[in-house]
Amino acid sequence: MHFPVWIPLGPLRIHPHPVFESLGYFLGYRLYLWQRRHPAGGGSGALGLGDALPDLQRLIVLAAAALGGAIGSKLLAGLEDPALTLAHLRDLSFLLAGQSIVGGLLGGLLAVELVKGRIGLRTATGDLYALPLTLAIAVGRIGCFLTGLADDTSGVATRLPWGIDFGDGIPRHPTQLYEIAFLLLLGLLLWRRARQPHTEGDLFKLFMVGYLGWRLLVDAIKPYHHVLFGLCTIQLACLAGLLYYAPHIPRLLRWKGEPAWQTR
């Protein structure tokens, strides 16, 4: 296999990254809409994830998540290698090219919490996004894998039999495939727990704790620039996010279902 793996479309060859990134957004949004149409009590396929937010409040929350996610994604990507970013500070194409899923998630979380406090919204709003985000990231990682080394998401060199040469002659950990497998397992867990009575907000907390914990571990075998205590910027951001959710982690891990859907 030669990387990147271009996708043929008639006479054209399309780069895999934008194709699967766009497909991830599309499928994630379709799943979000499906969940909204199947609230609690809606039959055997219901996940109990419908919300009763007024349209304006829902739009405000979505806009905050999108804007905060975009800013957080670019900001954390720029901090992955501060020296390199400073050297290209006037290169707009370089600054706009980088993006970070972890930065997007944490930036979106911060923006939503700030906006909810501003408009006085106390209802948990994240559960509708847990499964769509899991699906979107998993599909997007296919594009990361097919892009190869240029995407900067592959792992360090390995002698394991499943190491993949992404084009530089060095077998590396296919960390993109590891992440897809993890997200499939996380999605199954979220799906199962969504079908149980649960406290509003806990599905999103479980998604965030699971994904941030995963990235804290798997990024240890990626060739990232280490900035503090042997950790890269993304790992430090994951630690910050896990500390934010720390009071909830023991309850999430022993979750066996709540007596009713409720707000906490």
- Spans of all domains in the chain: 7-50+124-223
* Cα–Cα distance, 263 to 199 (Å, whole number): 6
The pLDDT value recorded for residue 169 is 93
At 60 the three-state DSSP class reads helix
Q: Which residue has the higher pLDDT, 97 or 264?
A: 97
pLDDT (mean) for 204-212 = 97
The pLDDT value recorded for residue 50 is 56
Of 8-12, 114-118, 259-263, least confident by mean pLDDT is 259-263
The pLDDT value recorded for residue 261 is 39
pTM value surpassing 0.75 = yes
Alpha helices in the chain (DSSP H): 16-37, 55-79, 82-87, 92-97, 101-119, 127-147, 175-194, 202-218, 233-245, 249-253
Is 194 exposed, middle or buried (CB count within 10 Å of its CB: 0-12, 13-18, 19+)? buried
End-to-end CA distance of the chain: 50
- Give every CB contact of residue 88 below 8 A, 6+ residues apart in sequence: 94, 95
Question: 3-state SS string over 185-202?
Answer: HHHHHHHHHHCCCCEECH
- Report the mean per-residue pLDDT for the chain: 88
pLDDT above 90 for 260: no
Contact 120, 56 (CB under 8 A): no
pLDDT grade, residue 259 (50/70/90)? very low
